C-alpha cells in the first residue's frame, strides 16, 4: 500500500528513452547494474567513496543491526559518480542512494526518472569553490571571461559556475568549458592547461593544502550545496518503515562525525585516499546535519533545474514539485 507520507509520484518515461536523454546530455551511464529483482526483505544501497555517512554506517554494521528487527538484509553497491547511481535507482537496480550533490537529481528527473527525495544534509556552501593557482593574476570571477575553466559537467560545481558567471553578467558562452573528472582537472590545473577549476571538497581541501590553490569564489550567497538522499519511488511507497530507520541512522552518523572531527577524519582518510588533515579540513566545511526535505531545498532544486534547462544542458524543463517527498514523523 502506498505510504501516506509520499506526495503523488512523478510520471516515468520508458527506460530506453531515459538512457537516450542522459546520453544526449553528455552523461555516461553506469557500466553495470546489480540485479533489478524487487525484494521487500532486502535493502540495496548505492553509494560513492564520497558518501561519508553511508560509508560510516557500512563500516560499522550499524544499519544491519538497526534493520534486524524488520528482518531486512542490507546489500551495498559502489558507484563512481552520482548520475549512474541515480540511473540504477530509477531502473530498480538499487532501492536507495547515498547522498548526491544538489545538481545531480535534476538531470535524472529530466530523463523521466521516478525518484523520491527522502533526506537532505543542510547547506555547506563553502565546501565548493572556484580556485586559481597560487601565482595566478586572476582576482575576480569577471576575469574568467575568455579563460579555460575545468569542472565536472552536471555536478554541483557546474551550477556554482553558472551562478557566479551570471552574477557578473556573464554566461557559460563567455568562457571555454573543460569538462573533466576531478583527477584530470587537477592535472590540467596544476600544469597550467586551465585558468581555473571549479571543485568540491575533499578535492578542494586537497588542492588548497597541497598546491596552495587560492579561492576566487566559494558558494556563499550563490549555491547552498545541499546533499540529497533519494529512493526509488516504488520502494519508498512499499517500505516507509525501512526509510525511517535509515533516516535515523544517517542523523546519528552525521552527529557523531561533527562531534568527533579528528576521529572521523582518521577513519575516512584511507577510504578516499587522502591524508587525515585534508579530510578534517574538508569535513569542517560540510554540515553533515541530516534533516527532512523542506520547501526551501526543493525550491533551490527547481532553480538548479531551470538554470540547466535554460543553458540547454538538460533536454527539457523539470518540474521538481512533481517528485514525491518522503517525510518522517519527526525531524530535527
Taking only the tens place, the pLDDT of each residue in 283-317 is 999 999 999 999 999 999 999 999 998 888 888 88
Do both 28 and 94 map to the same domain? yes
Exposure string of 6-36, with b = 16+ CB inside 10 Å and e = fewer, is: beebbeebeeeebbebbeebebeebeebeee
The span from the CA of 24 to the CA of 77, in Å, is: 26
Q: How confident is the model at residue 232 (pLDDT cuts 50, 70, 90)?
A: very high
Do both 105 and 181 map to the same domain? no
Amino acid 80: pLDDT: 83
Q: Are 183 and 158 in contact (CB under 8 A)?
A: no
Rg (CA), the chain: 19
Exposure string of 91-103, with b = 16+ CB inside 10 Å and e = fewer, is: bbbbbbbbbbbbb
Whether the pLDDT of residue 43 is over 80: the answer is yes
State which H helix or E strand residue 97 sits in.
strand 96-97
**What residues make up the domain containing 52?**
15-124+225-322
Do both 283 and 302 map to the same domain? yes
Q: Are 120 and 53 in contact (CB under 8 A)?
A: no
Question: How confident is the model over 206-223, as a mean pLDDT?
Answer: 94
Q: Are 109 and 318 in contact (CB under 8 A)?
A: yes
Whether the pLDDT of residue 41 is over 70: the answer is yes
Amino acid 37: pLDDT: 54
Do both 119 and 234 map to the same domain? yes
Length of the chain: 332
23 in a structural domain: yes
Q: Look up the pTM and report it.
A: 0.82
Q: Are 246 and 98 in contact (CB under 8 A)?
A: no
Q: How many CB atoms lie within 10 A of CB 84?
A: 20
Task: Output the domain CATH number for residue 23.
Answer: 3.40.190.10
- On the 0-12 / 13-18 / 19+ scale of CB atoms within 10 A, 173 is exposed
Domain count for the chain: 2
Domain boundary (156, 190, 218) is at 218
- In order, the DSSP letters of 16-57 are HHHHHHHHHTT-PPPS--------TTEEEEEE-TT-HHHHHH
Q: Are 103 and 198 in contact (CB under 8 A)?
A: no
Do both 239 and 214 map to the same domain? no
Amino acid at each position: 500500500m502506498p505510504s501516506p507520507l509520499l506526495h503523488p509520484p512523478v510520471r516515468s518515461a520508458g527506460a530506453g528513452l531515459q538512457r537516450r536523454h542522459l546520453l544526449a546530455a553528455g552523461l555516461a551511464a553506469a557500466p553495470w547494474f546489480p540485479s533489478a529483482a524487487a525484494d521487500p526483505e532486502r535493502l540495496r544501497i548505492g553509494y560513492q567513496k564520497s558518501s561519508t555517512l553511508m560509508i560510516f554506517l557500512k563500516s560499522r554494521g550499524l544499519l544491519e543491526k538497526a534493520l534486524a528487527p524488520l528482518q531486512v538484509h542490507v546489500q551495498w553497491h559502489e558507484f563512481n559518480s552520482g548520475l549512474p547511481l541515480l540511473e540504477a535507482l530509477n531502473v530498480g537496480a538499487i532501492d536507495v542512494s547515498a547522498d548526491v550533490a544538489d545538481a545531480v537529481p535534476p538531470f535524472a528527473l529530466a530523463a523521466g526518472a521516478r525518484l523520491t527525495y527522502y533526506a537532505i544534509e543542510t547547506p555547506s556552501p563553502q565546501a565548493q569553490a572556484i580556485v586559481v593557482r597560487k601565482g595566478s593574476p586572476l582576482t575576480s570571477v569577471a576575469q574568467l571571461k575568455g579563460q579555460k575553466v575545468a569542472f565536472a559537467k552536471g555536478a554541483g560545481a557546474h551550477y556554482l559556475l553558472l551562478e557566479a558567471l551570471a552574477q557578473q553578467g556573464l554566461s557559460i558562452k563567455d568562457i571555454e568549458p573543460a569538462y573533466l573528472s576531478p583527477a584530470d582537472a587537477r592535472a590540467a590545473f596544476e600544469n597550467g592547461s586551465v585558468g581555473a577549476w571549479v571543485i568540491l571538497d575533499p578535492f578542494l581541501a586537497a588542492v588548497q593544502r597541497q598546491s596552495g590553490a587560492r579561492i576566487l569564489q566559494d558558494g556563499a550567497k550563490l549555491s547552498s550545496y545541499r546533499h540529497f538522499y533519494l529512493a526509488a519511488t516504488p520502494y519508498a511507497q512499499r517500505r516507509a518503515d525501512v526509510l525511517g530507520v535509515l533516516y535515523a541512522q544517517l542523523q546519528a552518523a552525521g552527529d557523531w562525525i561533527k562531534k568527533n572531527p579528528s576521529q572521523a577524519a582518521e577513519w575516512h582518510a584511507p577510504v578516499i585516499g587522502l591524508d587525515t588533515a585534508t579530510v578534517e579540513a574538508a569535513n569542517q566545511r560540510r554540515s553533515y546535519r541530516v534533516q527532512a526535505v523542506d520547501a526551501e531545498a526543493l525550491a533551490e532544486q527547481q532553480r538548479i533545474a531551470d538554470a540547466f534547462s535554460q543553458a540547454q544542458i538538460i533536454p527539457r524543463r523539470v518540474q521538481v514539485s512533481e517528485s514525491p517527498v518522503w517525510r518522517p514523523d519527526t525531524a530535527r
